[in-house]
Structure 1
Amino acid sequence: MIRVLLTDDHPVVRDGLRGALEGEPDIEVAGEAANGAEALAFVARHHPDVVLMDLRMPELDGVGAIRRLAVEHPAVRVLVLTTYDSDSDVLPAVEAGATGYLLKDAPVADLLRAVRAAARGESVLAPSVAARLMAPLRRAPAGELTPRELEVLRLVAEGSTNAAAARRLFISEASVKTHLLHAYAKLGVNDRAAAVAEAYRRGLL
């Protein structure tokens, strides 16, 4: 059972999310929080698997809460669910350690898939968000991966999860995610399997 905490300062949004999730046999709404501070307190007491996190909230915003959760409760996955997809929202959230980033206009089916993927530790990005993250890298010369990006790809090729790769390299999961996104852009691919295959094809691994 995937236990989910709903974090949003609008009760109507939380009610809608609860309605979307509660009918699923493998998902349980563990609780609700109206801001980042309440989310941190709830996670400390109840240890949910996934936190659905809005970004713009009073007291403690989403990015601040994500940063704290990454340090204090690294096993808890945070899936951002917000209205905003500007660079000033997306980049800080991903760098803080968010596992995924969805927009509130996403179909319910996409939300459910994202919750399940986040629980498995997989990154899920709205298409517009992925485009924003990768756009600055499109100009990078193909194949010119940094040594760290190659290290991450080697571990992925060996079957390591993001968490395992982070432990091996003594860096954060967020950093592993960032290195992978950079590698995807440089290799012209969209997922881990394709990145590994393309790296082998180019003789990089």
Structure 2
Amino acid sequence: MIRVLIADDQELIRQSLSFVLDAQADITMVGTASNGREAIELVRKEKPDVVLMDIRMPEVDGVECTRLIKAAHPQIKVIILTTFDDDEYVFGALRYGASGYLLKGVSVSELANAVREVVRGGSIIMPGVASKALEMFARMARGSMQIAVDTQQTASLQENEWRVIREVGCGKSNKEIAAALCLSEGTVRNYLSSVLSKLDLRDRTQLAIWAVQTGVTADPYGDRT
């Protein structure tokens, strides 16, 4: 059973998301928080698998809340709930380890599948905002946050792993990568796990930033072998 906590300062959002997620056979709600400070306290008490995090909250905003939660509980996944106006906030949350973001108002199936995907180790970037994600990754790559990978670590990467890295850097989901490379989603997940282990990277977001920094996304095949 996937344990989920919702942090949002709007009561209607908290109630509606709780209702639809609790109706899923494999998901259970463990709490709701109306501000960031309350969210941190509930996370410490309940140890959820996933936190659905509003980006703009009183007392402690979603960016700082993400930073504190991931620092204390790196295994807990955070999905940011956002609007089109929250780009810079999302940028900060991704830097601190959020597994992706959803626009408020997504369908029930998209929301539930997003929760399942991050628990499996994936990341969530909705198709409608994928271009914004790429812009964010590019800004990260040009900015102060540099992802360091030793050249010896890349030496053991296989051809298909390079191709998967390229697709991740382009903001594609596991399903989209599987379709593009004619692989199963399970195989894509296995490649991603292998790549993260070989490069000693924390998560998919760091991998995407590194792919942009190093120019892998500009490689026609993503193959450096």
- Are residues 180 and 32 of structure 1, via their aligned partners in 2, closer, same or farther at CA, if it must alter by over 3 Å? farther
2:40 matched to 1:40?
yes
**Aligned-residue offset at 1:133:** 2.3
2:50 matched to 1:50?
yes
Q: Deviations over 1:88-147 (max 9, x none)?
A: 12211211211010001211111111010011121011224321122475xxxxxxxx98
**Aligned-residue offset at 1:71:** 0.9
Q: Aligned partners of 1:114, 1:71: CA distance in 2, in Å?
A: 22
2:157 matched to 1:154?
yes
Tell me the equivalent position of 2:103: 103
Tell me the equivalent position of 1:112: 112
User: Which deviates further from its counterpart, 81-90 or 63-72?
Assistant: 81-90
Q: Aligned partners of 2:21, 2:150: CA distance in 1, in Å?
A: 36
AA of the residue aligned to 1:46: E
Tell me the equivalent position of 1:199: 222
**Aligned-residue offset at 1:11:** 1.0
AA of the residue aligned to 2:24: E
Q: Aligned partners of 2:218, 2:150: CA distance in 1, in Å?
A: 10
AA of the residue aligned to 2:63: V
TM-score normalised to the size of structure 1?
Answer: 0.76
TM-score normalised to the size of structure 2?
Answer: 0.70
Unaligned runs of 5+ in 2: 139-146, 162-189
Aligned residues: CA RMSD:
3.0
Unaligned runs of 5+ in 1: 138-145, 189-197
Identical-pair percentage: 34
Q: Aligned partners of 2:102, 2:217: CA distance in 1, in Å?
A: 20
Q: Aligned partners of 2:107, 2:150: CA distance in 1, in Å?
A: 33
